[in-house]
Amino acid sequence: MDKKIEIPDAYSVPLNKINPADPALFKNNVMWSYFERLRKEDPVHYCERPYDIADDVFRDEEIGPFWSITKYNDIMSVDTNHKVFSSEPAITLFDPTEDFTTPMFIAMDPPKHDIQRKAVNPVVAPGNLKNMEGLIRERTQNVLNSLPKNETFDWVSKVSIELTTQMLATLFDFPFEDRSKLTRWSDVATARPGDGVIETEEQRYEELYECLEYFTKLWNERVNSEPKTDLISMLAHNPLTRNMEPMEYLGNLILLIVGGNDTTRNSMTGGILALNESPEQYEKLRNNHELISSMVPEIIRWQTPLAYMRRTALEDIEIRGKKIKKGDKVVMWYVSGNRDEEVIENPNSFIIDRERPRNHLSFGFGIHRCVGNRLADMQLEILWEEIMKRFKNIKVMGEPERVNSSFVKGYLSLPVKIIE
């Protein structure tokens, strides 16, 4: 059972004690006023001793001190300056442990980053996406057709997880009957001991080794057959990635599994929630299905499935008069930038026909900008097209349960009822 905890009001905490990375803020969906205060009073904020409200401890050893960048344009300038702000050794606040490192290109700098990114890029190139579109639509239709009507069920497990897992199986050409393994590995990869997913770090390593073993079998089959357009085949045949170390292969698999899974999954749930919270927007959509193409990026802004990316300063640098030192951790809070009233009009409102809906930070910017952004857009567009063809209303029946993380901003469950 979750502990009941009291979250103090953002304006009652002394500025220097504010820790925006405290997962309890996200679990309880109360981080908004914290970020609003930081944007107004301390947009480049130093948190010296990250305090964890739920466990009543300082995370000195685990994450240590870090900077928070909370304004849209400042985030953009950090994200596009990879010469000063490195993605190594990690893009979350947690540094890799020495006994289990899984290098992945999201946490690499050039030139290695660029080489590996290039190898996976073709799988999400427009031509390949077009090839996948029919299958994605068919699988979406099957999932929607199988849903119960006029009774309450969990949207997260029945739709969001099921669809994103099927999509991943398509990308990897992964045995379809084993696809639930992908969901499990995705959850395990981002879990922390005791959070309900895994009990210990050792359990995490064991399960991820199983993942590596499974994918190594697939690699060995594909490397000896004709090159195809699935991700494993592409990595196995590309001269630049063919000789990856096993842990590097695992790292990049985890990147693609998590990148393509949690994020789209939580956008699928976020969209349902956003439309229910703004019934006038739902009505607008019912009257004009063409708005789906501008609603999808708005869902992705509103949800911001990855709340932040972290960088490490390679040299001393000043932002807004604050002196960031070489080696300091710097966190770009996309979730805050996406609500920056100086750049986005009415940022706290969900508006499906915004003029510039793609004006958001959810996919990042610069050399690490999300590889899968067009794929994510396409999946969500297909989902909403098929929903609107079938159902008059998908009604939220209770509170969502939110993930206990300040990195993956998402949902564990959302009770809904389909009204035909």
What residues line the site for ligand HEM (CB under 6 A)?
A: 79, 105-106, 117, 124, 255-256, 259-260, 263-264, 267, 300, 305-306, 309, 362-366, 368-372, 375-376
**Which two structure tokens, joined as six digits, stand for 288?**
């004009």
Whether the ω angle into residue 111 lies within 30 degrees of 0, i.e. cis, is yes
Q: How far is the CB of 279 from ligand HEM (least distance, A)?
A: 24
Give the whole-angstrom CA distance, residue 312 versus residue 85.
5
Q: Name which of 106 and 275 has its Cβ closer to ligand HEM.
A: 106
Q: How far is the CB of 118 from ligand HEM (least distance, A)?
A: 10
Are the beta carbons of 352 and 295 closer than 8 angstroms? yes
Instruction: Please state, as a whole number, how many other Cβ atoms lie within 10 Å of the Cβ of residue 209.
Output: 14
Cβ proximity to ligand HEM: between 309 and 324 the closer is 309
Q: How far is the CB of 63 from ligand HEM (least distance, A)?
A: 18
Query: Per residue in 60-72, is it b (16+ CB within 10 Å) or e — as a string?
Result: eeebbebbbbbbb
How far, in Å, CA of 277 to CA of 302, rounded?
A: 12
Nearer to ligand HEM, 306 or 394 (CB): 306
The residue (of 31 and 231) whose beta carbon lies closer to ligand HEM is 231
**Least separation in angstroms between CB 370 and ligand HEM:** 3
Coil, helix or strand at residue 411: strand
Nearer to ligand HEM, 23 or 260 (CB): 260
Compute the least distance from the CB of residue 368 to ligand HEM, in Å.
3
Give the nearer residue to ligand HEM in terms of CB position, either 120 or 198.
120
DSSP, collapsed to helix, strand or coil, labels residue 119 as: helix
**Range 350-380 burial, b when 16+ CB lie within 10 A, else e:** bbbebeebeebbbbbbeebebbbbebbbbbb
Give the nearer residue to ligand HEM in terms of CB position, either 86 or 203: 86
Q: What are phi and psi of 235, to 5 degrees?
A: -65, -40
Instruction: Give the DSSP H/E element, type plus range, for residue 154.
Output: strand 152-154
> In 3D, which of 75, 116, 405, 115 has the Cα closest to residue 256?
116
Provide the minimum distance between the beta carbon of 170 and ligand HEM in the complex, in angstroms, as a whole number.
Answer: 11
Q: What are the beta bridge partners of residue 324?
A: 317
The answer to whether the CB of 246 falls within 8 A of the CB of 216 is yes
Nearest approach, Cβ of 8 to ligand HEM (angstroms)?
Answer: 29
Strands in 329-333's sheet, in edge-to-edge order, are 44-47, 66-69, 329-333, 308-313, 85-86
Residues in the chain: 420
Least separation in angstroms between CB 291 and ligand HEM: 18
The answer to whether 273 touches 415, Cβ cutoff 8 Å, is no
**Complex with ligand HEM: residue 264 or 269, whichever CB lies closer:** 264
Residue closer to ligand HEM by CB (options 31, 370) is 370
What is the nearest approach in angstroms of ligand HEM to the Cβ of residue 303? 8
* Nearest CB to ligand HEM, comparing residues 53 and 136: 136
Which CB sits closer to ligand HEM, 50 or 372?
Answer: 372
Minimum distance from CB of 186 to ligand HEM (Å)? Answer: 11
CB of 92 to ligand HEM, least distance (A): 11
- Residue 328, CA distances (Å) to 312, 336, 396 in order: 6, 20, 43
Residue 168: partners with Cβ closer than 8 Å, 6 or more residues away: 174, 179, 182, 186, 256, 257, 260, 261
Strand partners, 154: 415
